[in-house]
Amino acid sequence: MLVSAEVAALHAMKSVWQVLPHCHPIPITAADVSFDVRADRIVVTTNVEATYKTGVEMEALYGATVALLTVWDMVKSLEKDSKGQYPSARIEDVRVVEKAKSQRP
């Protein structure tokens, strides 16, 4: 399941400009996704790098969110109640933890 979520996140990072109207294609030089599986949650961390005149926050945020949506889609049958609802599952606290400008040579 996490491999599928990783692939979905990486694909999302590369295609964010096709989904969000004010984004444009950015030449991403590196990207990775990591998962911290805990007893009550899965924490997704994405890192995106680019040598470009703009940041890559949207690519990282979109990648993390798509990874979480993929996990949800794959496990939703485990939580769905008799009314078809998801009483506990949620996606929360998607945020930029750190942004750093690289030093150009």
Instruction: Compute the distance between CA of residue 40 and CA of residue 27 in angstroms, rounded to an integer.
Output: 36
The runs of H, that is alpha helices, within the chain are: 2-15, 57-79
Active-site annotation, residues: 73
Here the tokens at position 28 are 């991403």
Buried b (16+ CB within 10 A) or exposed e, 28-66: beebebebeeeeeebebebebebeeeeebebbbbbbbbb
24, 86 Cβ separation under 8 angstroms: no
